[in-house]
Amino acid sequence: MLLAVSGGADSMTLLSGAARLAGRVGLTFEAATVDHHLRPEARAEVESVARFSKSLGVLHHVLDAPITGTSGIEAAARTARYAALESLRVERKLDQVATAHTASDQAETLLMRLARGTSLAGAASIHETRADRVIRPLLFATRAEVEAYVAAREFGVCRDAMNADPSYLRVRIREQVLPVFEKAAGPGVERALARFAAFAAEDEAWLSAEAGRALSLVRWPEDDTLEAEALGALGLPIARRVLALWLTGRAVPLDGALLEDALRAARDRATATLPGDRVLACTNGRVTVLPAPARLPTEARGLHATSS
């Protein structure tokens, strides 16, 4: 197993706990820290993890994955991080990559997705296991429990200033929303939200599998279109997922509102505007994606209006 260890309290707890359990359960693992070169203190954090790993007798790897640009940094870093970890996992012939997401992360992610109106898998939040060999063994623990574990064993952890930056929605939910929610609903709300997300993940896995099977039945492979009548006959939760799978396969970036517009158009035999100067349209009973109609230049539109 490959442990992703950033140096924060959660990942250092994962590393410490794995080292304590390894001999009892026959666990073989290594640790890796990904440096995105985004903060001056990042290298010192990498070295801190390396020292702690050495003290535990754990082989530690440093993975450089620089991120450039100023927009979408979180998403870019996440993509680069998982790619680097997967590459190392394959190279080292390890079975899985373990990350240190907690029940608190689960609760925060759930509220973020609900606030954004994320469609489909939004309520599923963070999955305990993923098809790409990523597992999250600390989802049973809250952040408070992780901090208590660190305090009891008195090992050093790194504190990322980004985790206290209110410009990030996750931080605002953590510091402003969850405390109010817990005051209103009572103690244990983080764990309750995490449990709900776990049940939602089970539901989503089943619905996604059903949608995959349904897509194979309503899709015309020769021209990659959908049979409009067959799509309309599907139950709404499956039809929505079928359309999402199909549009994603055609490189259409989706959000909840766009997916609902596309589904409405498919069912009403109408059209819906898609990103990239494309439209979803129904032609001869088939749902397809076409280039958007050419628009007249502004001057030509004015001339046309005058002559008419």
Cα–Cα distance between 96 and 100 in angstroms, integer? Answer: 13
Asked whether the predicted pLDDT for residue 308 surpasses 50, the reply is no
- Lowest-pLDDT range, 117-121, 125-129, 234-238? 117-121
Domains and CATH numbers, the chain: 2-185 (3.40.50.620), 221-308 (1.20.59)
**Interval 157-209: pLDDT, tens:** 998 887 888 988 999 999 999 999 999 999 999 999 999 998 888 888 899 99
Cα–Cα distance between 129 and 245 in angstroms, integer? Answer: 21
| Distance in angstroms between the alpha carbons of the first and the last residue of the chain | 72
Kindly state the tokens that stand for 276: 């990239």
pLDDT confidence of residue 304: 46
pLDDT confidence of residue 226: 96
Whose tokens are 């799509």? That residue is 231
0.85 surpassed by pTM: no
Asked whether the predicted pLDDT for residue 306 surpasses 50, the reply is no
User: How much of the chain is helix, strand and coil, in % rounded to 5?
Assistant: 55, 15, 30
Asked whether the predicted pLDDT for residue 153 surpasses 50, the reply is yes
